[in-house]
Structure 1
């Protein structure tokens, strides 16, 4: 399973562990991923996503999954999130 946020595209970063003696060894900084079910008001159902804690705060700040996806760039979204975004746009266009 890939360690990438489905909404923001954040992934692992690379850096150094630095000891007291200033020895440097490579390490990975992993994103804080959580499995969550977000409710889509337009679709009337929950969508399971694997997103970072910061993305979850951003979804809350923007007022829900539908509004977050409306503003999100297609390049950052995963294939599943992009599919949900298109479904929501289609339902909103019909209404």
Structure 2
């Protein structure tokens, strides 16, 4: 399982551990990923995603998963999230 957020595309970054003696060794900074189930109002079901904590706050700020996905750029979304976005757009166009 890759360490990448399905909504924001956030992944591991690299840097240095720096000791008191100023010795530098390489290390990885991993994103804070959580397995969550988000509710889609349009599809009327829960969707399991592996997203970062900051992405979860962004989803809440934008008013839910549907609004977040509709405003998100396609190149940052994972294949799974892109499929869900297309389902939401299709369901909303069928309602109207």
Q: TM-score range by the shorter chain?
A: over 0.9
- Length, aligned pairs only: 95
Name the counterpart of 1:73.
73
Inter-partner Cα distance in structure 2 for 1:40 and 1:74: 18
Q: For residues 1-36 of structure 1, what are the alpha-carbon distances to aligned partners after superposition, in whole Å with 9 as ceiling and x for unaligned?
A: 100000000000000000011100000000000000
Q: 1:51: which partner in 2?
A: 51
Runs of 4+ in 1 over 4 A off after TM superposition: none
Cα offset, 1:63, TM superposition: 0.1
Which residue matches 1:88?
88
The unaligned stretches of length 5 or more in structure 2 are: none
TM-score, normalised by the number of residues in structure 1: 0.99
C-alpha RMSD of matched pairs (Å): 0.3
Structure 1 residues without counterparts, runs of 5 or longer: none
Deviation string for 1:19-68 (max 9, x for gaps)? Answer: 01110000000000000000000000000000000000000000000000
